Amino acid sequence: AAMQKIETGISELLKRQPVTEQEKDAYIQDLQKAMRLLLEEVRDLEEMVALLQKKRFGSSSEATPVQEEEEPLGVFPEAELEYKEDAPEPFKKDQRGVHKISEAGRWKLTSSNETENRIFDLDEEERICPRCKGKLVWIGKELVREVFEYQRPKLKLVRYWQMSYKCPACHKKGRSVIVRASVPKPLLNHSLVAASVVAEIMYQKYVNAMPLYRQEAAWKQLGVTFSRTTMARWIIRCAEDWLEPLWNAMRKELLQREVLHADETVVQVLKENGKTAQSKSYMWVYRTGMDGLPPIVLYDYQPGRSGEYPKKFLEGFHGYLHTDGYAGYNQVPDITRCGCWAHLRRKFVEAMPAASSNPKGLLTPAQVGRDYCDQLFAAEKKLAGLPAEERQKQRLAVEKPMLRAFWCWLEELEQQPLAGNLKKAVQYARKQQPYMENYLLDPRCQISNNLAENAIRPFTVGRKNWLFSDTVKGVRASAVIYSLVETAGANGLSERGYLHIVLSNLPSMDFRQHPELLKDLMPWSDYMRSCFEQE
């Protein structure tokens, strides 16, 4: 649009016929102005092409290069930084050189009751001395090695039999008294599926990002045919009947917190009233902050990106809300919005020129802006282990001067002619300035919105495999299940185990009349912890 406007202006200039000297001077000035605008637009387009090429063909890492002798800041670490040639295995050697499972590995094995002893003994006819042919006597056993062994999953058919009893004395008197044993209610009426099967399907889809068509093939390996249509129906029905009330209870708990993080990402829904299959919908995520309480991660599907959606979801919340630069979050009332320095840093990283275009190796303004952000992140990392009050005190003493220096540098930079991505980075920083220092108001607040970014990543990874959702019911069920598995994982529970326990308990609970019963199924409840300890 900008290029078209410039071309229209030049076309109009070329039609002009200056006659007097004054008209010629004005004509030349207009041509020079049009040329400057055209050069700026060309420069912007060149930077845009370079950025797109970098995103497609270059490294996706935003980590700052460090010297070999220096310790990395750890703000945006690459996988290579974590690689170690001598990384420890879950085994250790004893004095005789025998490989044994280390304490960490041994705890995981014994806690799940999956330890097996295999005894290798001599046959009766072999227990004869090779020299004197006398009978050998057992003197002891020796541990040779320990190994992890994988066994293929099993699927079994379970028949529920209900025992019934009658009273013979009452029967003689003409009265029929029959007492039957209580039987757990089915997960779905008129269905053969059990909680363990649905939990496994949900775990594979929403934790391991395995689409249903691939699960269909995997179940065939076990000798049973579960069509993807049937599995989709199980997922949606269980999410609507059993898991959504638990999601609502978690939302009430989340709105009582004082520090939250929020983010959103695109999702495509093929069959939605009033929208084409190619239109964009959005999955929103809301996560509790580092407030010392059990973490909660909730997903919420909405057909658009309007600020009305977070406003409605967060109704009743009053506290600190960490977000990116999207202006729609300003519609949420009675909150203190905290900006994200990771997003601001990314703007300067995108404005950094390629190494080949900066042969002298001098620091460019974009690199200086990135380094200011790196200093803030490095200071935060050093203060992370301090108690809340001390961290707040050190933040004000150490990071407040850094912030003043950054804004002063930005003010000086604005006096220079800026263009392209650098201009966009400076404008973004200025626009977000009212929110960028609010994290200093409370020690529970974070310098970035990375908690929400990390929380929404499992959904984006799964989206790469299944690409889109077919129906609104399906994507809403996905939001509920993602919420439960991510909250369980954030609280240190097995996602598969948590789904199994929840789906096994909810059908027999009268939680609709007594919603307080749902507290026992929260991932941080004592009951849930006891269930995992028993396993």
User: How many Å apart are CA 390 and CA 98, to the nearest integer?
Assistant: 48
User: Quick one: pLDDT at residue 111?
Assistant: 46
User: H helices within 150-302, ranges in order?
Assistant: 168-172, 195-206, 212-221, 228-238, 244-255
Pairing of strands 269-271, 469-471: parallel
Cβ 201 vs Cβ 234: under 8 Å? yes
User: Quick one: pLDDT at residue 112?
Assistant: 47
Q: What is the pLDDT of residues 464-486, one digit of tens each?
A: 877 677 889 999 999 999 999 99
User: Quick one: pLDDT at residue 204?
Assistant: 95
Q: Please determine, for residue 400, whether its predicted confidence score (pLDDT) is greater than 90.
A: yes
By percentage, how much of the chain surpasses pLDDT 90?
56
Q: Please determine, for residue 12, whether its predicted confidence score (pLDDT) is greater than 90.
A: no
Question: Looking at 37-51, 156-170, 364-378, 434-448, which range is the least confident one?
Answer: 37-51
Of 106 and 430, the structure prediction assigns the larger pLDDT to: 430
User: Quick one: pLDDT at residue 63?
Assistant: 67
pLDDT band at 22 (very low <50, low <70, confident <90, very high): confident
Q: What is the pLDDT of residues 526-535, one digit of tens each?
A: 999 999 887 5
User: How many Å apart are CA 344 and CA 425, to the nearest integer?
Assistant: 7
**Average confidence (pLDDT) over 191-216:** 94
Q: Please determine, for residue 83, whether its predicted confidence score (pLDDT) is greater than 70.
A: no
Of 271 and 52, the structure prediction assigns the larger pLDDT to: 271
DSSP state of 320: E
- Please report how the helices 228-238 and 195-206 are oriented relative to each other, as an axis angle in degrees rounded to 10: 100
Q: Please determine, for residue 254, whether its predicted confidence score (pLDDT) is greater than 90.
A: yes
**Which residue has tokens 């609104």?**
472
User: Quick one: pLDDT at residue 428?
Assistant: 95
Question: Going by C-beta distance under 8 Å and a sequence separation of 6 or more, which residues neighbour residue 385?
Answer: none
Cα dihedral sign, 236-240-246-251: positive
Question: Looking at 1-10, 61-70, 195-204, 430-439, which range is the least confident one?
Answer: 61-70
Q: Is 309 exposed, middle or buried (0-12, 13-18, 19+ CB in 10 A)?
A: buried
Cβ 285 vs Cβ 455: under 8 Å? yes
DSSP code string of 385-412: TS-HHHHHHHHHHHHHHHHHHHHHHHHH
Cross-strand bridge partners of residue 178: 166
- Where in 455-499 does DSSP place strands (E)? 469-471
Q: What is the pLDDT of residues 278-336, one digit of tens each?
A: 889 999 999 999 999 999 999 999 999 999 999 999 999 999 999 999 999 999 999 99
Q: How far is CA 140 from CA 84, 137, 416, in A?
A: 40, 10, 84
| Interior/surface letters 37-56, b for 16+ CB within 10 angstroms, e for the rest | beebbeebeebeebbeeeee
By percentage, how much of the chain surpasses pLDDT 70?
83
Q: Please determine, for residue 108, whether its predicted confidence score (pLDDT) is greater than 80.
A: no
How confident is the prediction for the chain on average, in pLDDT?
85
User: Quick one: pLDDT at residue 282?
Assistant: 95
User: How many Å apart are CA 215 and CA 470, to the nearest integer?
Assistant: 17
**Which residue has tokens 């092409």?**
49
pLDDT band at 68 (very low <50, low <70, confident <90, very high): very low
User: Quick one: pLDDT at residue 173?
Assistant: 87
> 488: number of CA atoms within 13 Å, CB side?
25
Q: Please determine, for residue 223, whether its predicted confidence score (pLDDT) is greater than 70.
A: yes
Of 96 and 21, the structure prediction assigns the larger pLDDT to: 21
Pairing of strands 320-322, 259-267: parallel
Q: Please determine, for residue 518, whether its predicted confidence score (pLDDT) is greater than 90.
A: yes
